[in-house]
Chains A and B, each alone.
Chain A
Amino acid sequence: MAIRSFFVPFLLFGLYFYSSLSPVLSLYEDQVGLMDWHQQYIGKVKQAVFSTQKTGRRRVIVSTEENVIASLDLRHGEIFWRHLLGSDDVIDGIDIGLGKYVITLSSGGSILRSWNLPDGQMVWESYLQGPKHSKSFLLVPTNLKIEKDSVIVVFSNGRLHAVSCIDGEVLWKKDFEAESFEVQQVIKPPGSDLIYVVGFAASSQFEMYQINGRNGELLKHESTTFSSGFLGEVSLVSSETVVALDSTGSILLTISFQNGEISFQQTPISNLYEHFSGPAIIIPSSVPGIFAIKTNAITIFIRVIGEGMLEVAEKTNHETAISDSLPLSEGQQAFALIQHAGSEIHLAVKLAHDWDGNLLKESIKMNQQRGLVHKVFINNYIRTDKSHGFRVLIVMEDHSLLLLQQGTIVWSREDGLASIIDVTTSELPVERDGVSVAKVEHNLFEWLKGHMLKLKGTLMLASPEDVALIQSMRLKSSEKSKMTRDHNGFRKLLIVLTRAGKLFALHTGDGHIVWSHLLRSLHKSEPCQSPIGLNLYQWQVPHHHAMDENPSVLVVSRCGPSSDAPGVLSFIDTYTGNELSSLSLAHAVAQVIPLPYTDSTEQRLHLLIDSDKHAHLYPKTSEALSIFKREFSNIYWYSVEGHNGIIKGHALKYECTGKVADEFCFDTRELWSVVFPSESEKIIATVTRKLNEVVHTQAKVIADQDVMYKYISKNLLFVVTVAPKGCGEIGSVTPEESWLVAYLIDTVTGRILHRVTHHGAQGPVHAVFSENWVVYHYFNLRAHRYELSVIELYDQSRADNKDVWKLVLGKHNLTSPISLFSRPEVITKSQSYFFTHSVKAIAVTSTAKGITSKQLLIGTIGDQVLALDKRFLDPRRSVNPTQAEKEEGIIPLTDSLPIIPQSYVTHALRVEGLRGIITVPAKLESTTLVFAHGVDLFFTQLAPSRTYDSLTEDFNYALLLITIVALVAAIFVTWRLSERKELQEKWR
């Protein structure tokens, strides 16, 4: 006994210590995909090039607005390979060289790269410099060769380069240094070695350079002045003719430069179209002999016949899109034209010189939620009967990508999801009769088979094939994609707003799209020219007495990019995706403040602040107004003016002045302001606590049963300022010139609770605020490393509440409401640590009751999400913690934070272009749902303290069952035995 008692504590302590040091979250290989899903997107396609050689798989190479170069399978639309370039490395052009290299021009024409077509490996990279900034063009001519070397012609930064296709070496270059020369087109007529560079100079001069493609020699330079100037772009109608508009947008100029002679031809648009009014714009295209202009809502296709003569080919008021030309055999060129008509789109493929005849005419039913066709790319294939077949790739208004072939949509990709602006969540309907839509197992046999397999698996009798079958059954479990609420709250809807103005509802179980809705209020309309979706808010979350209502979300958008453009509100039912109503506001929306009050139908009250600092209350009901009036004097708001470094606090005043009587509009008055000296500080980051965060307790129990009271306030703002010099890139300033100041400001009173200066530190700063602590990430210029700092706030004025009897009898005022105008005595504890990674986003886990310990979720530069225990960022860590502190779980202080490979939440996957991490509590206290979005989407469940309130996936049910059975059998046997024995006793 003595020996045991000596060992057991040691053993247990050892085990405890081991487990406390490595909070490993890792999962087993067969658990991948059970609770997480990952979706890959590319973004809105800018340019597409087909590669349909006879050998090898048919693919299309695309470049997108998310700076992705991808190779897609033409059969299914899957991604073969994909590269995400940096956000400052915008792709200008792509093409295919020699049939095996993908050539990309990016970064304003200064970086030229070549990628291997089959696998996407980079072959070479060239850096192209030039004298001045200009438009950039990438041409990959098929027949231009210099000493058996295929040539790429690049015009960028005011310089024309000829680059070898094999190794990226610049063969020759030619500068266009004329001050005002603006290049408009670079033309390489087929069948000759000449290159034409045309452009405008001094806004009224047309310039043409003829260059020998073999050596870059300037053969001819011509220029002509056109007095009324030029507007916008030029359209290429043949290899030696371009069409431009004059500066008024009403006269078409046909400019031909055959044999180096420039000749003009003017045609007023009113000659072609008598109802013409207002300026027209040229739709950029490159179909020989045809170009299109757009005026008001009418698109006019104009044919060029002979020597600059123009003729209207077609007028249409349908929305249209036109593709570039596609060379067919024997010098013919085809192009695709798409016109909208109601719920259908009409696809026509025509030959360039034959407008009236159609090679192909198809009508395809199109989902209204995809909006208009924005771009068309055409490709042909040879049918078995030697005729031409066409496939067309179209990019829709919602950024989705579709392949049309033979009158049907072969595949579609929802690439709008690559550019998510905002995310919120919604519950699913409660399971009732007729509500559930999940399929039950097909029949009894299947059911039995499934369970037999599972039994085999648990008894370790399954063969590898069985194991694979079990795994696929687990992954495809219909349970997780059911359309009803589950007991643990794992199944929810993720409502996401994309840049295209489309709202998607994704199911958290497997990520499928439940519904999608292109917001009508975000369509272009007469009063609202360029609407932009801004944010999503939870408008109505019925849970208690309004269970019959569907939840709804509020989408706040704005007409135009300026901050005083009027706002638009739309209310969307999250079960169906229907737009319940939309409001076009008379005022702008500068800020949206969700208030902590709801009305009797669980609609949340929102306060919208306009650009004149008037506050508008929504919903506009008398009930909302009465609730609001009750709390009127306790509602404040603050504004952060980043450009002049001022934070202002405001209170509300009754009734708007100088306006039409509107009882839902309130004036505001300034209460306080914090002015940062503009010569030494510039605001670069502000963070507040999440509005819906739940905190379980205000006390923190530390070693030796001592108590510290957290300072928990919802009205705290964390602000970081840096020296104005240090706003640039990391390393652009010396450590002496750069500093970073962190503030904690009470947003009701404007009181600065804490201020700390980090000398020699520089942004960018990423921060997260939760409970009573804030963690922020910045660069330390002296140490040449990134740092994470933590500040924790404690309330010293409560620290005296240590009398046990008072607490037992409840004679304390720790939970009574407090006013922020009573002066709090805040003490802070802080610590800093080195951190290896640079960071793209930081979030923190959130659980239903706030009991579970927290983890920081750090989006690393490698586009992964790392879970870091908050215990590593505890300012009470010390180099040699005492025994009591060790028992409390304090980790000995180290200079840098450990990165445990197993604690990557995204395991082997990458969320390309990671932008945001959102955490949502599940109903189960131990579990939090994590959604990371960027170009890719990733969702998983996390249990920061492991699933202490439910059995884990790998719980050994078989062992439990066997134990129970064995115990029951043992009870039965011993009972019988004892009965028999008793009987024998009695007989004795």
Chain B
Amino acid sequence: MEKGKGVMGSGRRWAVDFSDNSTAPSSRDIPDPLGFNRASVDQDDSTVSRQKKDAESNWKAQKAWEVAQAPFKNLLMMGFMMWMAGNTVHLFSIGITFSALWQPISALQGVGKVFEPYKDSKVELLGPKLLFIALNLGGLALGVWKLNTLGLLPTHASDWVSSLPPAQEVEYSGGGIPL
């Protein structure tokens, strides 16, 4: 997921542009080197760009699937941490449980943003998105399960009766040993 975030970082100040934009002579005001025939290159221009676009969309689709699978690793990691934390309620286990609950929720909130860099008319993003959501829901379920094993979910009768006041008695009786 960190990788995805790196790509879509917004506040960048400089960038290395690896795509070759030599095909756009208007943007370049320096003369072509000697012996270089621009006309011969221009002939293949359309085929080259199509190839490039295909490669890019392939790459995007691949990346999207990668991003969608990222929560799985997280899930395993969380599971391990929960196992380590034990089943007693204390600071550490609560911290882990709540981070296990919070991470999927925040990830689910930002589903659109995560996949924004891979948005393309040719790239089918529904599959990765669904996988991403499913995995995060799995993480959420794990968190809830952990919460329950810690006894923090009101799923027992005891959670609902522990503050029930005693029943009123209709009759009243007093007395004792005569004074």
Contact = CB atoms under 8 A, between A and B. Distances in A.
A binds B: yes
Contacts of A590: 178-179
A593 B175 contact: yes
B91 interface: yes
B169 A715 contact: yes
Given A6-B84, A801-B157, A591 B164 contact: no
Contacts of A13: 88
Contacts of B166: 695, 697-698, 710, 712
B139 to A, nearest CB: 18
B38 to A, nearest CB: 40
A634 B170 contact: yes
Interface string B12-52: 00000000000000000000000000000000000000000
A814 interface: yes
Contact of B92 (A9, A607, A816): A9
Contact of B163 (A4, A691, A697, A715): A697
Given A638-B176, A640-B176, A9 B90 contact: yes
Interface string B150-166: 01001111111111111
Given A556-B179, A637-B174, A9 B88 contact: yes
A784 interface: no
Interface in B71-126: 81, 84-86, 88, 90-93
A348 to B, nearest CB: 43
A607 B169 CA distance: 19
A642 interface: yes
Contacts of A8: 90-92
B171 A4 contact: no
A427 B170 CA distance: 30
Contact of B165 (A9, A697, A802): A697
Nearest to A802: B157
B165 A815 contact: yes
Contact of B167 (A5, A589, A591, A698): A698
A642 B176 CA distance: 10
B68 to A, nearest CB: 27
A539 to B, nearest CB: 16
Nearest to A594: B174
Given A698-B167, A714-B169, A819-B171, A803 B177 contact: no
B147 to A, nearest CB: 14
Contacts of B84: 2, 5-6
Nearest to A12: B90
A828 interface: no
A631 to B, nearest CB: 7
Contacts of A713: 169
A706 B168 CA distance: 24
B178 A563 contact: yes
Contacts of A709: 161
Contacts of A818: 167-170
Contacts of A607: 174
Nearest to A556: B179
Contacts of B165: 695-698, 815
Given A636-B172, A713-B169, A803-B157, A686 B177 contact: yes
B94 to A, nearest CB: 11
A556 B173 CA distance: 20
Contacts of A9: 85-86, 88, 90, 92-93
Interface in B122-152: 151
A593 B177 CA distance: 11
B173 A715 contact: yes
A804 B162 CA distance: 12
Contacts of B162: 697, 699, 701, 707
A60 to B, nearest CB: 37
Given A8-B91, A695-B166, A699-B164, A706 B158 contact: yes
A534 interface: yes
A705 interface: yes
With a 10 A CB-CB cut-off, give which of B90, B156, B160, B166 has the most chain A CB atoms.
B166
B179 A589 contact: yes
Given A699-B158, A707-B158, A803-B157, A5 B85 contact: yes
Interface in A129-178: none
Given A8-B90, A707-B161, A820 B174 contact: no
Contacts of B157: 705, 707, 801-804, 807
B173 A638 contact: yes
Contacts of A589: 179
B179 A593 contact: no
Contact of A748 (B86, B92, B161, B173): B173
A89 interface: no
A860 interface: no
Contacts of B161: 697-699, 707, 709, 801, 807, 814
Contacts of A686: 176-177
Contacts of A5: 81, 84-86, 92
Nearest to A695: B166
A596 B159 CA distance: 31
Given A697-B164, A715-B171, A12 B176 contact: no
B136 to A, nearest CB: 23
A642 B177 CA distance: 7
A661 B174 CA distance: 25
Interface in A2-36: 2, 4-6, 8-9, 12-13
A697 B154 CA distance: 17
A595 B174 contact: yes
A815 B161 CA distance: 10
A714 B90 contact: no
Nearest to B93: A9
A306 interface: no
Contacts of A534: 179
Contact of A592 (B81, B90, B173, B179): B179
Nearest to A817: B168
Contacts of A558: 179
A592 B172 CA distance: 14
A634 B171 contact: yes
A205 interface: no
With a 10 A CB-CB cut-off, give which of A4, A706, A717, A814 has the most chain B CB atoms.
A814
A224 interface: no
Nearest to B96: A5
B58 to A, nearest CB: 38
B171 A609 contact: no
A631 B159 CA distance: 35
Nearest to A814: B164
A733 B155 CA distance: 57
Contacts of B154: 804
Contacts of A6: 84
A104 interface: no
Contacts of A595: 172, 174
A695 B164 CA distance: 10
Interface string A580-602: 00000000011111111000000
A961 interface: no
Interface in A744-762: 747-748
Given A699-B161, A707-B161, A591 B172 contact: no
Contact of A637 (B81, B168, B175): B175
B175 A609 contact: yes
With a 10 A CB-CB cut-off, give which of B81, B158, B170, B171 has the most chain A CB atoms.
B171
24 contacts: A1-B81, A5-B81, A6-B84, A9-B85, A12-B91, A591-B178, A593-B174, A594-B174, A631-B172, A634-B171, A635-B172, A635-B173, A636-B172, A637-B174, A638-B175, A639-B178, A640-B176, A642-B177, A697-B165, A701-B162, A707-B158, A712-B167, A748-B173, A804-B156
Closest 3 A/B residue pairs (Cβ): A593-B174, A807-B160, A705-B156
Interface of A: 1-2, 4-6, 8-9, 12-13, 534-535, 556, 558, 563, 589-596, 607, 609, 611, 631, 634-640, 642, 649, 686, 688, 691, 695-699, 701, 705-707, 709-710, 712-715, 717, 747-748, 801-804, 807-808, 814-821, 887
Interface of B: 81, 84-86, 88, 90-93, 151, 154-179
